[in-house]
C-alpha cells in the first residue's frame, strides 16, 4: 500500500490522493495517510495540512468541516458573531470545524467563521444546557438520535453531520423531533454529505493548480 | 537568517532552536519559523508539529499552553469534565490551548484536558455571560485588565496568561479586583511565565532524546 501511495505521489498526472477509510486492521492508517505527499492530500489529513489549517494559513480545507461552513453561509446562517456549539471532537469533523469556526476570516483563510465556539462531547456536564446556548448547533458525534429537542433553543440552526446506519437506513445524529423546535435543520441524507463530496472535488481542482502538471481535455 | 537556521539544523550538538519573536519587519517570521527542522522545533510552532498536536499525537507541546495545563493540574484544578472558557484565539496560546483542553488524555497525549471548551474573544457577544459559565477561565487576550470581576463566577479558577507593559510594569489580562471573586488566580509576573520557560526546557530535553547525538557533561 505504501508502494502504491509512493507511485501515485510521483505520478504527475495524479493531483489528489484519498485513502478510503477505514482500512483493514492489519494496516496502520496513520502510516498510509502520512505517506501521501502533502500537496496531493486533498482530504487535508496530513499533519502539515492540519497544522497550516490550525495556524490560519490553510492549503486545503478538510472537506466535511468546509462543507458545513458553506452550507451554513449559503442558507443565511453566517456563524460570524454567533455562538456555535459543536458536539463531537473527532479529528475528521469536530476539532477542525471548531478551529475553523473560531478563526477570523482573512484573504488567506476565507472560511474562518469568526464565531464564539464551544466544543462539547459525550462527557460534557449539563450537555443539554450547554447546547441550548447555541445559535448554531452542530451534531458530529456519530450516534443516531443523540441530539434531542430539549438540547435545541427554539429557532436555532441545527446542522446534522451524523451518518449512522440504523435498521439498514442512513440516519443522522439529530432526533427527527428536533425539526419542530429548530429554525433550520439539515437533512440526512442529502445535507452535509453531498457538501463533503463537493469540497473534495474543489480541493482536487486546487491541487491541480498548486501542482501544475499535464492538463487534458 | 535562513542560512543560520540551516546551519543549526545540521549541527548534531544543537537539539532545540527557538526564534525569539517578533522579528524586525523586513524579515518574514513565517519563513524563518517554518525553516526550523521539525525535530528541533522546541517551540512547537512548525506546521507539522501544530498538526500532530491538533491530531492528538503531539511530538512537542507548545510551551505556554502546556504550562497552563500543568499549572492547573498541580494546583487542584484538573480541567477534566469542567467547562473551561478561553478568552483569546491566538496561534501561540488560545487556539492550541483550546485544542489541548478538548482532547481526551491518552498515553500519547497525556496533557489532553477532556474538558468542555468555549473559545471567546473580543468579538464575542455577551462576553461577560459567556465567561461566567467557566469553572476555569483563561485570559489570553493581550489587553491589560480586560477580564473584570463581573466576568468571573464566584469561586472559579482564573489563569492569567497576559503579559502587558503598563506604566513600565508587567501586568496581566486580569483586573486585580478579580482576586476577590475568584477561587484561585495566577499572578503576573510569576504565574504562567515561569511555566512557559520550564516547558521549553522540557521540550529541549525531549528533543535531545528524539534526535540523539553527542551528550556531554
Q: What is the CA radius of gyration of chain A?
A: 18
A105, A52: one domain: no
Residue B145: which domain range? Answer: 78-188
Q: What is the spatial order of strands in the sheet that A184-185 belongs to?
A: A184-185, A157-160, A136-139, A83-87, A116-120, B116-120, B83-87, B136-139, B157-160, B184-185
Contact A118 B117 (CB under 8 A): yes
Q: Mind listing the pLDDT tens digit for each residue in A91-106?
A: 999 999 999 999 999 9
Mutate to test the interface with A, among B33, B41, B47 (most CBs of A within 10 A): B47
Same domain, B115 and B180: yes
- pLDDT band at A212, cuts 50/70/90? confident
Task: Give the model confidence (pLDDT) of B113-144 as tens digits.
Answer: 999 999 999 899 999 999 999 999 999 999 99
Write out the E strands in A92-216. 116-120, 136-139, 157-160, 164-166, 169-171, 184-185
| Helices within A12-62 (DSSP H only) | 29-35, 47-54
Burial of residue B184, with CB atoms counted within 10 A of its CB: 0-12 exposed, 13-18 middle, 19 or more buried: middle
* Closest-CA distance of chain B to residue A98, Å: 9
Q: How far is A168 from chain B (nearest CA, A)?
A: 31
Is the pLDDT assigned to residue A110 strictly greater than 50? yes
Cβ–Cβ contact A83 with B under 8 A: yes
Question: Is a pLDDT exceeding 50 seen at residue A43?
Answer: yes
Do A131 and A167 lie in one domain? The reply is: yes
Residue B26 in any domain: the answer is yes
pLDDT digits (tens, 9 = 90+) for B59-114: 999 999 999 999 999 999 999 999 999 999 999 999 999 999 999 999 999 999 99
Domain annotation covers residue A217: no
Is the residue at B123 inside a domain?
A: yes
Q: How far is CA B96 from CA B69, B86, B105, B164, B212, in A?
A: 11, 11, 15, 21, 27
State whether A46 and A70 are in the same domain.
Answer: no
Shared domain check, A76 and A52? no
Any chain B CB within 8 A of the CB of A52? Answer: yes
Q: Does the residue B132 lie in any domain?
A: yes
Give residue B217's pLDDT band: very low, low, confident or very high (50, 70, 90): very low
- Scanning every residue of chain B, which has its alpha carbon at the shortest distance from the alpha carbon of A49? B51
Best CA proximity match to A85, nearest among B117, B169, B68: B117
Residue B25 placed within a domain: yes
Do A180 and A200 belong to one domain?
no
C-alpha–C-alpha distance, residues B84 and B102, integer Å: 9
Q: What single DSSP character describes residue A60?
A: S
Contact A130, B116 (CB under 8 A): yes
Q: Which CATH number characterizes residue B99's domain?
A: 3.40.50.720
- How many domains is chain B built from? 2
Average pLDDT over residues B155-164: 97
The answer to whether residues A78 and A178 belong to one domain is yes
- Could you tell me if B138 and B199 lie in one domain? no
Q: How far is B97 from chain A (nearest CA, A)?
A: 11
Which ranges of chain A would DSSP assign to H, the alpha helix? 2-10, 29-35, 47-54, 63-73, 94-102, 127-131, 192-211
- Domain membership of residue B144 (yes or no) is yes
Chain A residues within 8 A of B48 when measuring between CB atoms:
47-48, 51
pTM reported for the whole predicted model: 0.96
DSSP 8-state code for residue B105: P
Is the peptide bond between A22 and the residue preceding it cis, with omega within 30 degrees of 0?
A: yes
Give yes or no: residues B84 and B184 share one domain. Answer: yes
Cβ–Cβ contacts within 10 Å for residue B194, how many?
A: 12
Strands B164-166 and B169-171 turn out to be antiparallel
Binary contact (A57, B30; C-beta < 8 A) = yes
For residue B215, is pLDDT > 70? no
Q: Please report the pLDDT score of residue A213 as a whole number.
A: 59
A82 has a pLDDT exceeding 50: yes
Tell whether B173 and B144 lie within a shared domain. Answer: yes
- Best probe of the B interface among A41, A109, A116, by most B CBs < 10 A, is A116
Q: Is residue B6 part of a domain?
A: yes
- Give the residue with greater pLDDT, B214 vs A55: A55
**Domain shared by A85 and A185, yes or no:** yes
Chain A positions in Cβ-Cβ contact with residue B118 (cut-off 8 Å):
116-119
pLDDT band of residue B213 (cuts 50, 70, 90) is: low
Task: Give yes or no: residues B184 and B199 share one domain.
Answer: no
What's the pLDDT at A216?
Answer: 54
All 3 cell numbers of residue B41?
Answer: 522545533
- Residue among B85, B107, B106, B105 nearest B97 (CA): B85
Q: The CATH number of the domain where A30 resides is what?
A: 3.40.50.10860
Determine the pLDDT at residue A214: 56
In a domain, residue B217? The reply is no
Amino acid at each position: 500500500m505504501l508502494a502504491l501511495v509512493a507511485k501515485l505521489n510521483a505520478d504527475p498526472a495524479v493531483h489528489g490522493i484519498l485513502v478510503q477509510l477505514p482500512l483493514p486492521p492489519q494496516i496502520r492508517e496513520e502510516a498510509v495517510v502520512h505517506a501521501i505527499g502533502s500537496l496531493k492530500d486533498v482530504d487535508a489529513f496530513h499533519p502539515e495540512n492540519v497544522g497550516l489549517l490550525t495556524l490560519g494559513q490553510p492549503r486545503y480545507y478538510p472537506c466535511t468541516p468546509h462543507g458545513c461552513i458553506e452550507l451554513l453561509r449559503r442558507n443565511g446562517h453566517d456563524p460570524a458573531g454567533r455562538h456555535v456549539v459543536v458536539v463531537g471532537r473527532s479529528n475528521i469533523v469536530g476539532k477542525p470545524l471548531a478551529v475553523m469556526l473560531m478563526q477570523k476570516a482573512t484573504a488567506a483563510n476565507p472560511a474562518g467563521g469568526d464565531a464564539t465556539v464551544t466544543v462539547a462531547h459525550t462527557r460534557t456536564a449539563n450537555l443539554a444546557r450547554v447546547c441550548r446556548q447555541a445559535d448554531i448547533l452542530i451534531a458530529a458525534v456519530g450516534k443516531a438520535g443523540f441530539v434531542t429537542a430539549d438540547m435545541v433553543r427554539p429557532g436555532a440552526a441545527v446542522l446534522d453531520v451524523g451518518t449512522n446506519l440504523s435498521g439498514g437506513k442512513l440516519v443522522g445524529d439529530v432526533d427527527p423531533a428536533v425539526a419542530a423546535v429548530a429554525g433550520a435543520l439539515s437533512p440526512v441524507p442529502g445535507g452535509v454529505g453531498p457538501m463533503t463530496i463537493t469540497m473534495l472535488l474543489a480541493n482536487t481542482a486546487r491541487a491541480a493548480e498548486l501542482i501544475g502538471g499535464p492538463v487534458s481535455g
